[in-house]
């Protein structure tokens, strides 16, 4: 069986072949590259390696890591020697390819043109999105989110969980007789909150199993349930200690979600605007749709009469 580190290293190399070289400096400018090898002020970040006078930057390393699948990104520290080796290999093969004249090769130029088109399109779209997804737009989206999601009521409660309805009735009788709920929970509850006096974290409607949630939200603050509440876990006796409105989420908590929604809407608007002024003729599948299967007559026509053979 192949060991995991070796298999991961092979995958790193395979991804490098598939994705192509990632370099921060054109090898045609090697004389310039040697001037700032130790510079820390480059926009590409720190120089992490130099190959035949060509700088490999920290940004090249990060770009390569971002191409890795999640399972390898979690092993980056272990794979760092292989990743650095691959960046060096990329620099060497790029230099060798340029020396061999591949920069002027027709097939290479076709692939470069396609990549250039992709980058141009992505850059146009991203800039159009950035122009719409401003701080003001985010603030407006946040305020709208607060309006559409008003604070919900949440309860602070305790419970005592027992196995049978009879045991729950006994607990209720003791509470009716003046027993302290928290102390009784420590003595009788079989649930994980028992040692804490049955205390539960604050919860909103629907965050507990249905029977428990419905019973708790129907109770008044300061009271305990007069009938056992059955769930798949057993029989509960509940005490509601407080009822408050939950704090609305801070902007930072929902900003990523709101930004994603705004970016999707902005991208859709860009596509719609461009398509409105474009002539688009999608021909894929049209030929197949217009052709009748072999041996069948087109719709509305009679099949040919059989011959006398």
Model pTM greater than 0.75?
no
Range of the domain at 208: 153-245
Taking alpha carbons only, the member of 210, 207, 185, 203 closest to residue 242 is: 203
Rounded to whole angstroms, the Cα distance separating 192 from 171 reads: 17
Strand 203-204 to strand 153-162: parallel, antiparallel, or no bridges (unpaired)?
antiparallel
CA angle 24, 28, 29 (to 5 degrees): 70
> Do both 226 and 97 map to the same domain?
no
Q: Let me know if residue 208 belongs to a domain.
A: yes
Question: What CATH number did the domain enclosing 204 receive?
Answer: 3.10.50.40
Rounded to whole angstroms, the Cα distance separating 254 from 247 reads: 13
Rounded to whole angstroms, the Cα distance separating 156 from 199 reads: 8
Q: Let me know if residue 85 belongs to a domain.
A: yes
> Do both 71 and 197 map to the same domain?
no
> Is residue 7 a contact partner of residue 28, using CB atoms and an 8 Å limit?
no
> Is residue 155 a contact partner of residue 240, using CB atoms and an 8 Å limit?
yes
Q: Let me know if residue 277 belongs to a domain.
A: no
The length of the chain is 309
Instruction: Tell me the pLDDT of the chain (309 aa) as tens digits.
Output: 444 444 554 455 555 544 444 444 443 333 333 344 344 455 678 999 999 999 999 999 999 999 888 888 888 889 999 999 999 999 999 999 999 999 999 999 999 999 999 999 999 999 999 999 999 999 999 999 999 999 999 999 999 999 999 999 999 999 999 999 999 999 999 999 999 999 999 999 999 999 999 999 999 999 999 999 999 999 999 999 999 998 999 999 999 999 999 999 999 999 999 999 999 999 998 766 555 555 555 554 555 554 544
Residue 71, H or E segment:
helix 70-73
Q: Let me know if residue 298 belongs to a domain.
A: no
What are φ and ψ of residue 238, in 5° steps? Answer: -115, 145
> Is residue 53 a contact partner of residue 34, using CB atoms and an 8 Å limit?
yes
């Amino acid at each position: 069986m192949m060991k995991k580190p070796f298999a991961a290293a092979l995958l790193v190399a395979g991804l490098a072949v598939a994705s192509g070289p990632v370099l921060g400096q054109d090898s045609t400018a090697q004389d310039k590259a040697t001037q700032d090898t130790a510079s820390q002020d480059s926009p590409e970040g720190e120089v992490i390696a130099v190959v035949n006078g060509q700088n490999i930057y920290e940004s090249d390393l990060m770009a390569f890591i971002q191409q890795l699948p999640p399972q390898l990104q979690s092993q980056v520290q272990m794979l760092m020697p292989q990743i650095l080796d691959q960046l060096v290999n990329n620099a060497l093969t790029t230099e060798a390819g340029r020396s061999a004249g591949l920069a002027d090769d027709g097939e290479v130029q076709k692939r470069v043109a396609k990549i250039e088109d992709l980058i141009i399109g992505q850059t146009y779209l991203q800039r159009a999105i950035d122009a719409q997804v401003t701080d003001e737009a985010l603030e407006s989206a946040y305020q709208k989110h607060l309006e559409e999601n008003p604070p919900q009521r949440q309860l602070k409660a305790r419970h005592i969980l027992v196995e049978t309805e009879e045991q729950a009735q006994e607990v209720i009788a003791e509470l009716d007789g003046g027993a302290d709920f928290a102390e009784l929970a420590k003595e009788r509850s079989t649930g994980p909150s028992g040692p804490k006096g049955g205390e539960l974290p604050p919860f909103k409607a629907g965050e507990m199993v249905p029977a428990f949630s419905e019973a708790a939200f129907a109770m008044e603050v300061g009271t305990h349930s007069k009938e056992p509440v059955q769930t798949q876990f057993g029989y509960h006796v509940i005490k509601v200690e407080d009822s408050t409105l939950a704090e609305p989420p801070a902007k930072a908590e929902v900003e990523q979600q709101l930004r994603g929604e705004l970016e999707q809407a902005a991208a859709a608007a860009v596509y719609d605007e461009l398509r409105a002024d474009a002539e688009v003729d999608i021909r894929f599948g049209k030929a197949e749709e217009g052709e009748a299967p072999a041996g069948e007559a087109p719709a509305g026509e009679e099949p040919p009469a059989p011959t006398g053979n």
